[in-house]
Amino acid sequence: CHGNAGRIGPHVRPAVSATVPDATLAAAAPPSIRRRLASMLYESFLLLGVLSVAFVLPYLLIGMIWEIAVPGPLLWLHIFIVLLAYFGWLWKRSGQTLAMQTWKIRLVSANGMSLTTRQVFLRYSLAWPSLLAGGIGILWALIDRDRQFLHDRLAGTRLIGQ
């Protein structure tokens, strides 16, 4: 029925259930704060490319062809949506962005199950004020009992090391 999903091999990934928590994931230790910050820094460089293609290039063309400028609030909305699509798709699909894969960090629900769409949207939405309010949501990890960021605590998600 599932073909090779259960076999472990060099090119076959194990089957993962979205409804049954993996005890290993639920008990996994969080990555160090230094590792998470390094991943965020690397992610910011990757996002320059994403935003160049999905944001800067289209608005340069709009400005050159139609000689108009898009109002500021629409620009911010566009950035919010582009980044939501980027993070949302990757977090929902595998729990990892490229930077998270590089730094061996994975995003799971608090109980180790796959993320729900609600959790993905909630985490993404809460991460903005968490970062923009002087990084208070990041600093929260220094006092959190599980060393999780504030937006993870509120969204019911957690970062784990692999």
pLDDT, position 5: 45
Distances (CA, A) of 29 to 13, 130, 158: 22, 22, 10
| Residue 14: band (very low, low, confident or very high) from pLDDT cuts 50, 70, 90 | very low
Distances (CA, A) of 39 to 45, 88, 99, 101, 117: 10, 17, 5, 9, 23
Average pLDDT over residues 64-81: 89
Spatial separation of the C-alpha atoms in residues 160 and 8, rounded to whole Å: 22
Model confidence pLDDT, tens digit, residues 16-40: 444 445 556 656 889 999 999 999 9
Model confidence pLDDT, tens digit, residues 95-131: 999 999 999 999 999 999 999 999 999 999 999 999 9
pTM above 0.75, yes or no: yes
% of residues, the chain, pLDDT over 70: 83
- Whether residue 77 has pLDDT greater than 50: yes
